[in-house]
Amino acid sequence: MRGAPIYIAGMGIISALGYGVAETAEALKEARCNLRPLTLFELTADAPLAVGGVTLETDPADPLPRTHHLAHMAADQALADKSLALDAIVVGTTTGGILTTEALLEKSVAAPHCYRYHGVGTVAEEMARRYGCSGPLITVSTACSSGAVALLLAMEMLRRGKARRVLAGGVDSLCRLTYFGFNSLQLIDPIGARPLDRERSGLSLAEGAALLLLTTDPPAEGALQLLGAGLSCDAHHATAPLADGQGALAAMQAALADAGLEPAAIDYINLHGTGTPDNDLAEARAIQALFGDRLPPLSSIKGAMGHALAAAGAIEAVVAAIAIDHGIVPANVGFGSIDPALNLAPVTVPLRAPVTTVLSNSFGFGGNNAVLTIGTQRGPNCKPSELPRPPLTVTAAACLTGAGHTQETWESFSSGRQCSGCLDDRTVTEGLPPRTVRRLKRLPKLALALASDACRTLPAGRIPVAVSLGTAWGALSETHDFLQQLFETREQFPSPTDFIGSVHNAPAGQIAMLLGAKGANVTTSGGDASFEQALLAADLLTRPGTDPILLLGADEAQPVLAPLFDGSVRVAETLADGGGALVLERGSSHGGPTVALLEYRFGLDPDWMTTLIERLGGADGVERDYGAILAGLPAYCCTQAAEQLAGFLSQTHFGGPVIDYRRIIGQFGTASAVAAVLAVQIVSRGLVPAPLSGGSDVFLNGKGILVLGLGTYLSAVRIAPQ
Amino acid sequence: MEELIETLKIKIIEILNLPDVTPADIPVDSDLMSSGLDIDSIDMLELVILLHKDYGVKIKNKEQAKKVFASLRSLASHIMETSPGFVK
């Protein structure tokens, strides 16, 4: 436990079990099973499978996708009767607008504005507009652990005093991608999920949302808290969990330690319990390793409402709160008989018992584990708050652009030549084992090449154990190919490999396997601020003296989808992709330059520029601290961005070199990751080369570089000498 | 039979994108997953699709999958016995 307690001041939930906390509590008390055959979209071939769907009437003319509506319904509840401003929104989602996108792609709709809500980051953006929040916004996309990871990041934001009120949780709608994807993996139980049961044969998909208002302000009544959280990564396989449960165990131990609690303090375990043979086995082993023969009551609610993927972790956080508030342990609906391989007996009928402290598990593809502890009382083993924290220092860096790997990119960039373009796959993956990349398409190849390049010169003890990756659009090739094959074969033969690869966090999962990185593994996605979100997440996840973290930003220029989704790609002359990677340690004396996210806001309020300049110490501070500016002007709003930049320059009278880096690196969401790496290069060399300054070499004289992100997101990253 | 096995080898290399594997490397009479070629459960799912798509053969359950995919030879003989294209 670090810093102030984190209170749950509001909760909203919508799932197959009902709308709102009261309805959900009733359904849990009655052990209702609400899995029904899918009706959301037409199927051409097979009979519909049982899903946990939500009844939701929307206007067909409403362009807002189903995921966004679900999020609004949960958020409205969480924020009811609250008039105070929100400081941040952290939401986990894997689907975003994909349900709408699928229908559009099937009809070959080519109008880009129809796809404007595709990005997973637009869920948080729409909530920010709805509730008047200017951010920071973070969108977490770590498959089935997304909702729990979002709550962890929100908690860290509050503990660090970066916010007082954060809306956080998860949301996902049913869609063809996940429905046919999980089916292609043979991970769906045809008669409905039966978690822990001997005959279980898979999960049931579901949809829903849960959002929680978290705050450091002590509430007038009730004192339910998010006590702690823990993350880990199996670094083992794209989909299958580590069979001995060691990854899950590490996350559970971390969540208990973070709350200052011993296992004996837990009086209910809310299982991940999807009903797949592998998940339930690994989870059972982890639980037995941690609790021995002193098992508290435990159950999975996924036999009752299905698996709502990114929403699941947040939904189950609300279920944990209901368990405490109502003194009830929910039943493990769908369970019939004990599996001797698990030797785990869940609660089969709702149990009336006082509950004070709940452990809630969420595990996802890529071996991505997240565990929360929710309760009324912090443990006695709390560690004190640990401010101030030393800065994040760069111990290694790498980038990829159309010009080549790091060295080639730097040579082009520093000579004032173009870097934009798409490096051929063969050159991207040179140096990576052929078998490692054989099943991978563009984005995971870029990500693995960046990770491998960045870590190549590091000694064994300095290799990153945690990963934070930002991507504007995720793995577009896999998404495109999966859907195309689904449509072409009339839903008969979608590729399981493409489905696995289409998940936003698949590239970060591949990196974990390559490096053996078993710490936190987070993927963020929010348009042009995706890399900045990953930097914020990395900052929140790293504590002094902890192991190194690999921070990346990468995007691929899939020729069909990238122009449809990204306005800047559409107006750019050439397709461009690539990314950047930084290995960071907090307070390392071995490190090079330091990296800090000074400001990150959403929206076009001109006041933010003034706030940013104040944050930088006014005109004097900018002059004192910065020798050059790398400015990111997204092409889709270049006029607006140019006005923002002109405003910044006129208010600060900055006279040093200002480099419009997207013109050189290319127009893609995470071009700022490349800019950050190039800024590290400039700071390490101590000068801005003449071709970039527009005159002669400009010496930095100990000053740093400001990487400015403009457009609908305003961000400022400082790269400075140590 | 031998001809079908050779065809299957080429299809497997192509579909699973095994860059450093030649048809001669693929064992005929032993389990593909323990062949040292890094073939895993996801690859096997791709082969289930190949079987259905190219030969019209559907695998009904995991027990059957285990039997059919025990080796390349058992796979080929299952195709010859059940594929509409091979039934005499």
User: Per-residue pLDDT tens for A173-213?
Assistant: 999 999 999 999 999 999 999 999 999 999 999 999 999 99
Nearest to A648 by CA among A694, A713, A716: A716
Residue B88: what pLDDT?
Answer: 41
The torsion region of residue A595 among left (phi > 0), alpha (psi -120 to 50) and beta comes to: beta
Residue B63: what pLDDT?
Answer: 80
Residue B62, pLDDT > 80, answer no
User: ipTM of this complex > 0.85?
Assistant: yes
Q: Do B49 and A435 touch (CB under 8 A)?
A: no
How far is CA A386 from its chain centroid?
25
Residue A722: what pLDDT?
Answer: 87
Report how far residue A523's alpha carbon sits from residue A139's, in angstroms, rounded to the nearest whole number: 8
What's the rounded mean pLDDT across residues A443-461?
Answer: 96
pLDDT in tens, A355-378: 999 999 999 988 899 999 999 987
pLDDT in tens, A496-505: 999 999 999 9
Residue A461, pLDDT > 90, answer no
**Encoding tokens for residue A165?**
């009120």
Phi/psi of residue A706, nearest 5 degrees? -105, 120
Contact A514, A452 (CB under 8 A): yes
Instruction: Please report, for chain B, the start and end positions of each structural domain, with discontinuous segments joined by +.
Output: 2-82
> Which of B17, B38, B45 lies at the smallest CB-CB distance from A496?
B45
Residue A102, pLDDT > 90, answer yes
What's the rounded mean pLDDT across residues B45-58?
Answer: 90
At residue A483, the 3 state secondary structure works out as: helix
Please enumerate in sequence order all residues whose Cβ is within 8 A of that of A424, keeping only pairs 6 or more positions apart, or say none: none
> Which of B20, B42, B53 lies at the smallest CB-CB distance from A239?
B42
Residue A598: what pLDDT?
Answer: 96
Was domain B2-82 assigned CATH 3.40.50.150? no
Residue B19, pLDDT > 90, answer no
Q: A115-124, A271-280, A410-419, B22-31: which has the minimum mean pLDDT?
A: B22-31
Residue A388, pLDDT > 90, answer no
Nearest to B74 by CA among B19, B16, B30, B41: B30
Q: A151-155, A243-247, A717-721: which has the minimum mean pLDDT?
A: A243-247
What's the rounded mean pLDDT across residues A523-550?
Answer: 93
Contact A449, A432 (CB under 8 A): yes
Please enumerate in sequence order all residues whose Cβ is within 8 A of that of A83, keeping only pairs 6 or more positions apart, or say none: none
A107 DSSP assignment: T
Chain B touched by A495 (CB under 8 Å):
yes
Q: Which residue of B has its CA nearest to A185?
A: B45
Question: Has A307 been annotated as catalytic?
Answer: yes
Q: Do B17 and A496 touch (CB under 8 A)?
A: no
Residue A474, pLDDT > 50, answer yes
Question: Has A68 been annotated as catalytic?
Answer: no
Report how far residue B88's alpha carbon sits from residue B13's, in angstroms, rounded to the nearest whole number: 28
Q: What is the largest CA-CA distance in chain A?
A: 77
Tell me how many residue pairs between chain A and chain B have CB atoms under 8 A apart: 40
Residue B36: what pLDDT?
Answer: 81
Q: Do A496 and B42 touch (CB under 8 A)?
A: yes
Q: B19: which chain A residues are within 8 Å (Cβ-Cβ)?
A: 434-435, 438
Q: Do A186 and B52 touch (CB under 8 A)?
A: no
pLDDT in tens, A586-619: 987 777 899 999 999 998 787 888 999 999 999 9
Q: A493: which chain B residues are within 8 Å (Cβ-Cβ)?
A: 49, 52-53
Residue A40: what pLDDT?
Answer: 95
Contact A574, A557 (CB under 8 A): no
> Which of B19, B20, B46 lies at the smallest CB-CB distance from A496?
B46
Query: Which pLDDT band, with edges at 50, 70 and 90, does A4 fall under?
Result: confident
Q: Is the Cα dihedral A564, A400, A443, A586 positive or negative? A: negative
Report how far residue B78's alpha carbon sits from residue A151's, in angstroms, rounded to the nearest whole number: 50
For an interface test with B, give the residue of A188, A436, A495, A498 to mutate (most B CBs within 10 A): A495
Residue B5, pLDDT > 70, answer yes
**Encoding tokens for residue A258?**
């973070």
Report how far residue A413's alpha carbon sits from residue A628's, in angstroms, rounded to the nearest whole number: 15
Query: Which pLDDT band, with edges at 50, 70 and 90, does B39 fall under?
Result: confident
Domains and CATH numbers, chain A: 7-375 (3.40.47.10), 392-720 (3.40.47.10)
What's the rounded mean pLDDT across residues A348-358?
Answer: 96
Query: Which pLDDT band, with edges at 50, 70 and 90, does A54 fall under?
Result: very high
Chain A, residues 136-195, CB within 8 A of chain B, namely: 184-186
Residue A2, pLDDT > 70, answer no
